[in-house]
Homo-oligomer: A and B are copies of this chain.
């Protein structure tokens, strides 16, 4: 049994429903074991800048149903390569020593790091410097290998499914094709789950490059069968079989330009042009990241928070908590970092979708 008197917690990367539930569970579980918890403001940046604050049990009262993170977050700062502004110039420096010194000054002996791939990797680096670190995987995209679910994903799927339910009525009333663009730059989990739940006719994901002709054939076949409308869910990172990624500002080549509603709008325009069926696109964007987490995500996030502290108590470090077959397990952080967590193209879920005649554009 390891003994800690004081541990730290931080949230990094994009906003995600359930972050507060993890923080709350960390603080409550620690308190039950006589451990104090300190929070860092705004991810690793706050650790470098020494923005630390004690988190009492009363600090986390009432935050379970709230979206966002009471600690603030950012997806920018890396202490090992820290951006500094020096006389009109941006320079980068390794300030990991500063970060460790800030922890030591407060007597903080271990760190719970809640974040996505980038944040967990930084956590792993601190682990290699001797700091006991536990990772809690966070991504609404569900694309972290080794865990069946990341928290926030169920909420994102709920928002997307609610949107599909709404678009259905308009599609039916107007005999239109309605395209919904959802998150998923590299992995199509949100598109796949919400497409199944929302009764989509086509689901286009990064893992399965699509053929526009196949999509149009699906729409035309439905109309031939008296179904005058169609619903398409497309992950922001989906791409056509031929040619390259498209986006409103694709010329600039930045991934950001694609985030801004590129693929869905293009798809709707192309479908309308080629099939003659009125087509419209909606880009869900940030709505998928915010707001109160679903009960599923609240429970999962709470279990992760409890498990993270229990890892420290049992002397495990350098690991990430994960969900497997309804149980919380631990995986070595080093084994995870940088590996993709894509939708298996030959997997059950894709096969199930095909069985009920959903088209993947291939």
Contacts and interface: CB of A to CB of B under 8 A. Distances in A.
Interface of A: 11, 14-15, 17, 19, 24-25, 28-29, 31-32, 42, 58, 61-62, 64-69, 72-74, 148, 154, 157-163, 165-170, 172-175, 178, 193-194, 196-199, 226-227, 248, 260-261, 265, 280-283, 285-287, 289-292, 294-296, 298-299, 302-303, 305-307, 309-310, 324-328, 348-349, 352, 355-357
A357 B28 contact: yes
Given A174-B73, A280-B286, A348-B328, A193 B15 contact: no
Contacts of A160: 295
Given A265-B260, A286-B170, A196 B302 contact: yes
B295 A157 contact: yes
A148 B198 contact: no
Contacts of A287: 163, 166-167, 282
A3 to B, nearest CB: 17
B166 A290 contact: yes
22 contacts: A15-B173, A15-B174, A24-B356, A25-B356, A28-B356, A28-B357, A29-B356, A42-B175, A64-B199, A72-B172, A72-B174, A154-B295, A160-B295, A161-B298, A168-B290, A196-B302, A261-B283, A280-B286, A283-B285, A294-B294, A303-B348, A309-B355
Contacts of A196: 298-299, 302
Contacts of A226: 58
Contacts of A348: 303, 326-328
A34 B233 CA distance: 27
A175 B41 CA distance: 12
B193 A286 contact: no
The quantity of this chain's copies bound in the complex is 4
**Which of A11, A15, A328 has the most chain B CB atoms inside 10 A of its CB?**
A15
Contact of A32 (B15, B31, B194, B357): B357
Nearest to A27: B356
A231 to B, nearest CB: 11
Contact of A296 (B154, B162, B283): B154
Contacts of A15: 169-170, 173-174
Contacts of A66: 169
A131 to B, nearest CB: 23
A349 B25 CA distance: 13
A302 B173 contact: no
Contacts of A61: 227
Contacts of A73: 173-174
Contact of A303 (B14, B24, B199, B352): B352
B173 A286 contact: no
Contact of A68 (B68, B148, B169, B193): B169
A295 B198 contact: yes
Contacts of A65: 165, 198-199
Contact of A302 (B159, B163, B356): B356
**Which of A32, A159, A167, A197 has the most chain B CB atoms inside 10 A of its CB?**
A197
Contacts of A310: 355
